[in-house]
Structure 1
Amino acid sequence: MSEHSEPNAALDSDETPVGNFTGLFRYAKYDILSGFLVFLIALPLCLGIALSYGYPAIAGVFTAIIGGIVSAFISNSELTIKGPAAGLIAIAAPCVMSFGWNGVPGDLNQEAYRSALAVGVAAGIIQILMGLFRVGSLGEFFPSSVVHGMLAAIGVIIICKMFPLALGVKVGGEPLKLLLGIPKVIQNYEPTIAIVGLVSLAIMFIWPFVKIKPFKSIPAALVVLAVAIPLAKFLDLSSKHTNALKFEEHKEVASAVDEDTPEPEAVAEAASSPVDPPKSDTLISVPAFGDTFKSLTFPKFDALMQPQAWQWVFMFAIIGTLESMLSAKAMDLIDPWQRKTTLDRDNIAVGLCNTLCSFVGATPMISEIVRSRANMDNGARTRFANLYHGLFLLAFVTLLPFLIGMIPVAALMAMLVFTGFRLAHPKEFAHVFKIGPEQLIIYVSTLVGCFAIDLLAGIAIGIVVKLLIHVLKGAPLMSLFKSHVTVGERTDESVVLNVSQSAIFSNWLGLKKKIINTNVEKELVLDFSDTRLVDHTVMANLKQMQKEFERGDQRLVIRGLDNHRTFSQHSEAGRARTPNNSAAR
Structure 2
Amino acid sequence: MPGAGTLRDDFGASVVVALVALPLCVGIAVASGVPAELGIVTGVVGGLVVGCFRGSSLQVSGPAAGMTVLVYEAVGVYGLTALGVLVLAAGMLQLGMGALRLGRWFRAISVAVVQGMLAGIGLVLIAGQIYALGDVTAPGGMPAKVSGLSGFAGRAEWAAVALGVGTVLVVVGWQRLPARVRVVPGALVGVAAATAAAAALSLPVERVRVSGVLDVVDPLSGTELAVLASPAAVGTVVALALIASAETLFSAAAVDRMHDGPRTDYDRELVAQGVGNAVCGLLGALPMTAVVVRSAANAEAGARTRAARVLHGAWLLLFAVAVPQALSAVPLAALAGVLLHAGWKLLPGKAVVTLWRTHRGEAVVLVVTAGAIVATNLFEGVLLGLVLAVAKAAWETSHVHVEQVWEEDTLCLRVVGNASFLRLPKLLDVLEAQPGDRKVRLDLSGLRHLDHACLTALDGWARQRESGSRPVPGREEATEPG
- Aligned to 2:329, the other structure's residue is in SS state coil
What amino acid is aligned across from residue 173 of structure 1 in structure 2? G
TM-score, structure 2 as length reference? 0.79
**How many Å separate the matches in 2 of 1:187 and 1:431?**
40
Query: Counterpart of 1:403?
Result: 326
CA contact (8 A) 1:72 1:384 kept: yes
**How many Å separate the matches in 2 of 1:157 and 1:58?**
23
Asked if 1:324 corresponds to 2:324, the answer is no
Q: CA deviation at 1:119?
A: 0.8
Query: Counterpart of 2:141?
Result: 174
Asked if 1:146 corresponds to 2:74, the answer is no
What amino acid is aligned across from residue 127 of structure 2 in structure 1? C
**How many Å separate the matches in 1 of 2:299 and 2:105?**
26
**How many Å separate the matches in 1 of 2:16 and 2:304?**
14
**How many Å separate the matches in 1 of 2:14 and 2:366?**
36
Query: Counterpart of 2:436?
Result: none
Gap change, CA 1:64 and 1:470, over 3 Å in 2: closer
CA contact (8 A) 1:192 1:235 kept: no
Q: CA deviation at 1:159?
A: 0.3
Query: Counterpart of 1:352?
Result: 275
CA contact (8 A) 1:158 1:420 kept: yes
Query: Counterpart of 2:235?
Result: 311
Q: Pick from 341, 346, 349: which aligns with 1:426?
A: 349
**How many Å separate the matches in 1 of 2:225 and 2:388?**
38
Query: Counterpart of 1:223?
Result: 189
The percent of aligned pairs where both chains have the same amino acid is: 29
CA contact (8 A) 1:77 1:341 kept: yes
Asked if 1:51 corresponds to 2:30, the answer is yes
CA contact (8 A) 1:203 1:220 kept: yes
Q: Pick from 192, 198, 213: which aligns with 1:292?
A: 213
Gap change, CA 1:311 and 1:76, over 3 Å in 2: closer
Query: Counterpart of 2:472?
Result: none
Q: Pick from 129, 153, 158: which aligns with 1:162?
A: 129
Equivalence map 1:501-580=2 (5 Å): none
CA contact (8 A) 2:19 2:184 kept: no
Q: Pick from 87, 90, 110: which aligns with 1:120?
A: 87
What amino acid is aligned across from residue 327 of structure 2 in structure 1? I
**How many Å separate the matches in 2 of 1:381 and 1:345?**
19
What amino acid is aligned across from residue 43 of structure 2 in structure 1? A
Query: Counterpart of 2:404?
Result: none
Q: Pick from 43, 61, 80: which aligns with 1:64?
A: 43
**How many Å separate the matches in 1 of 2:219 and 2:101?**
30
- Aligned to 2:290, the other structure's residue is in SS state strand
Equivalence map 1:154-553=2 (5 Å): 154-210=121-177, 212=178, 214-237=180-203, 240=204, 282-287=206-211, 291-299=212-220, 300-337=224-261, 339-473=262-396, 475=398
CA contact (8 A) 1:68 1:388 kept: yes
Gap change, CA 1:304 and 1:24, over 3 Å in 2: farther
Superposed CA deviations along residues 70-98 of structure 1, whole A, max 9, x for unmatched, are: 11222330111110000111211111111
CA contact (8 A) 2:90 2:238 kept: yes
CA contact (8 A) 2:35 2:216 kept: no
Structure 2 unaligned blocks of 5 or more: 401-415, 419-445, 449-482
CA contact (8 A) 2:83 2:285 kept: no
CA contact (8 A) 2:83 2:284 kept: no
**How many Å separate the matches in 2 of 1:322 and 1:468?**
20
Gap change, CA 1:183 and 1:345, over 3 Å in 2: same
Gap change, CA 1:305 and 1:376, over 3 Å in 2: same
**How many Å separate the matches in 1 of 2:48 and 2:3?**
13
Q: CA deviation at 1:120?
A: 0.9
CA contact (8 A) 2:133 2:160 kept: yes
CA contact (8 A) 2:164 2:336 kept: yes
Q: CA deviation at 1:430?
A: 1.2
Q: CA deviation at 1:214?
A: 4.7
TM-score, structure 1 as length reference? 0.65
Superposed CA deviations along residues 392-432 of structure 1, whole A, max 9, x for unmatched, are: 11111111222222111110111001100010143232132
CA contact (8 A) 1:146 1:459 kept: yes
CA contact (8 A) 1:24 1:384 kept: no
**Which entry has the higher C-alpha Rg, 1 or 2?**
2
Q: CA deviation at 1:360?
A: 1.2
Gap change, CA 1:470 and 1:213, over 3 Å in 2: closer
- Aligned to 1:37, the other structure's residue is in SS state helix
Gap change, CA 1:471 and 1:72, over 3 Å in 2: closer
**How many Å separate the matches in 1 of 2:72 and 2:93?**
20
- Aligned to 2:302, the other structure's residue is in SS state coil
Cα RMSD, aligned residues only: 2.3
CA contact (8 A) 1:198 1:414 kept: yes
Gap change, CA 1:400 and 1:24, over 3 Å in 2: farther
CA contact (8 A) 1:47 1:60 kept: yes
**How many Å separate the matches in 2 of 1:131 and 1:471?**
28
CA contact (8 A) 2:55 2:267 kept: no
- Aligned to 1:215, the other structure's residue is in SS state coil
- Aligned to 2:219, the other structure's residue is in SS state coil
Gap change, CA 1:40 and 1:145, over 3 Å in 2: same
What amino acid is aligned across from residue 304 of structure 1 in structure 2? L
Q: CA deviation at 1:187?
A: 3.0
Superposed CA deviations along residues 194-234 of structure 1, whole A, max 9, x for unmatched, are: 12111112222332233x45534432112202311111112
**How many Å separate the matches in 1 of 2:75 and 2:169?**
31
Displaced runs of 4 or more, over 6 A: none
CA contact (8 A) 1:167 1:198 kept: no
**How many Å separate the matches in 2 of 1:209 and 1:137?**
37
Q: Where is the helix percentage greater, Structure 1 or Structure 2?
A: 2
Gap change, CA 1:467 and 1:303, over 3 Å in 2: closer
Gap change, CA 1:230 and 1:125, over 3 Å in 2: same
Q: CA deviation at 1:474?
A: 5.0
- Aligned to 2:208, the other structure's residue is in SS state coil
- Aligned to 1:310, the other structure's residue is in SS state helix
CA contact (8 A) 1:114 1:298 kept: no
Query: Counterpart of 1:77?
Result: 56
Structure 1, 460-469 or 360-369: larger mean CA deviation: 460-469
